[in-house]
Amino acid sequence: MPRMSKKKQPGKYVLYLAVLPKYRTECVRILTDVMGDNLRIFVSSAHLDESVKTGIPKDLYTQVSIRRLLRGRAFIQLGSWGPAVNAKTTVLDLNPRSISAWLLLAIRAALGRRTLVWGHIHPQAGAGSRTAVLRRIMRRIAKGTISYTYRDAEKAISDIPGSAVWIAPNSLYRKESVRPALDANDAQRSSVLYVGRFAPAKKVSLLVEAFGEAVRTQPDMRLILVGGGSEEAALRHLTSRLGIAEQVEFPGWIDDLEALSPFYARAFCSVSPGFAGLGLTQSLGFGVPMLVADDEPHSPEIELDASGGVTYFRSNSNIELSKTILTKWENRDNLPNLAISRYTKLRYSAEAMASGLEDALKNSRTNLL
């Protein structure tokens, strides 16, 4: 009779986080496949900013409640604290606004249990801001830090020499899905592309104005705005006022990889007129270069400029952006860029992100390169 294997202890490792958006799905699937019943995940339905929601499949997590405090400046999550306190290793948000993260850090430190924090090493305001100090305190209480990016990992070690740091690069897709976007009909690329939220901080109106200038020189050019948000009506009105409504498409919100691919296959560049984030990973993975404002509070993913796929323009200047778009138009025959796609695939895949989290949870050696 075959020997029965010992059943694994449920909840040996815990992720207790504010949210896990839909773009985390592939990473979480890989991680749960590897760790099985040893891993439990607890998240809330939405973050402090209620537009940031949990979107991974419901069978992958247990939902806990969230209460927003101090007029939206802080929050606390309630429910399932027992597993979070008792786990061998618990991962919490590196976010000073999370009261529950502070309390769980303190409780587990008093009990001598291993706790890690995961998130941006510095806030968008930079290392000199007041909340940056609070992040360092959270990291000193914790037994290690999981960084979103390679540069952030270097900053983490510089902040607290000798501290344990792992990299779980902020990624969207599995390696097999990160590939250059090609048009089946081999049509010439004629589109400027934006993918993301239509929100003030994203400055999409600046792009519309810049395109309005550029299309006067190249009337065959098109602008595609994929996304949605509070400024959509104003953007549509702006295209009409500038007389370019027929050259601008609003396909709506699309986050499926296969559905997005045709838009990137038609694009000779993508644009981040405000701060750049994960959209940079997406665009470069498709082999499409991105135009990025040079003075914005970019997310750490901006380190992908090392791939050579980023061209900067002067922030808040529609004229400068227009000129940069026209420059990319003249060089559109060499796309997709296979080198930047390969660079992104090797360093920013869901497998790499899941592997970094697994190493951190299991207290493996740090994965710094």
161 and 248 co-located in one domain: no
CB atoms within 10 A of CB 44: 23
**What span, in angstroms and rounded, lies between the C-alpha atoms of 97 and 66?**
12
Count structural domains, the chain: 2
Q: What's the CATH code of the domain at 305?
A: 3.40.50.2000
Higher pLDDT among residues 368 and 120, named by residue = 120
Q: Are strands 74-78 and 65-69 parallel, antiparallel or unpaired?
A: antiparallel
Residue 6 domain-assigned (yes or no): no
Residue 368 domain-assigned (yes or no): no
- Which residue is listed with tokens 């999370």? 98
Share of the chain above pLDDT 90, in %: 83
Compute the half-sphere exposure of residue 325: CA atoms within 13 Å on the CB side of its CA.
Answer: 34
Q: Looking at 126-135, 221-230, 266-275, 298-307, which range is the least confident one?
A: 126-135
What are the tens digits of pLDDT across the range 19-55?
999 999 999 999 999 999 999 999 999 999 888 899 9
Residue 129 domain-assigned (yes or no): yes
What's the pLDDT at 5? 38
DSSP 215-230: HHH-TT-EEEEEEE-T
Question: Mean per-residue pLDDT for 291-307?
Answer: 92
Nearest to 99 by CA among 127, 126, 133, 138: 138
What are the tens digits of pLDDT across the range 151-191?
999 999 998 999 999 999 999 999 999 999 987 665 689 99
H or E stretch covering 192: strand 191-197
142 and 181 co-located in one domain: no
What's the pLDDT at 184? 60
Residue 230 domain-assigned (yes or no): yes
144 and 216 co-located in one domain: no
What's the pLDDT at 368? 58
User: How confident is residue 104, by pLDDT bands cut at 50, 70 and 90?
Assistant: very high
- Residue 3 clears pLDDT 50, i.e. is over it: no
25 and 164 co-located in one domain: yes
35 and 68 co-located in one domain: yes
**What span, in angstroms and rounded, lies between the C-alpha atoms of 325 and 314?**
13
191 and 160 co-located in one domain: no
Omega cis (within 30) before 273: no
User: And the tokens for 109?
Assistant: 């430190």
- Residue 168 neighbours by CB under 8 Å, 6+ apart: 27, 118, 146, 147, 148, 352, 353, 354, 355, 356, 357, 360
98 and 117 co-located in one domain: yes
What's the pLDDT at 365? 66
Residue 116 domain-assigned (yes or no): yes
208 and 228 co-located in one domain: yes
What's the pLDDT at 299? 85
229 and 94 co-located in one domain: no
Residue 125 domain-assigned (yes or no): yes
Q: Work out the mean pLDDT of the chain and round it to a whole number.
A: 92
Question: Mean per-residue pLDDT for 10-27?
Answer: 92
- Residue 9 clears pLDDT 60, i.e. is over it: no
50 and 149 co-located in one domain: yes
What's the pLDDT at 11? 64
133 and 220 co-located in one domain: no
Residue 369 domain-assigned (yes or no): no
Question: Mean per-residue pLDDT for 129-145?
Answer: 93
- Residue 75 clears pLDDT 90, i.e. is over it: yes
Residue ranges of the alpha helices (H) in the chain? 25-35, 81-86, 99-111, 130-141, 150-159, 204-217, 232-241, 257-265, 278-285, 318-330, 338-347, 350-361
Domain that holds residue 190: 176-347
60 and 190 co-located in one domain: no
User: How confident is residue 7, by pLDDT bands cut at 50, 70 and 90?
Assistant: very low
DSSP 34-47: HHGGGEEEEE-SB-
User: And the tokens for 80?
Assistant: 């399932």
C-beta contacts of 227-230 below 8 A and 24+ residues apart: 227/194, 227/195, 227/196, 227/197, 227/198, 227/252, 227/253, 228/197, 228/198, 228/252, 228/253, 229/197, 229/198, 229/199, 229/202, 230/198, 230/199, 230/200
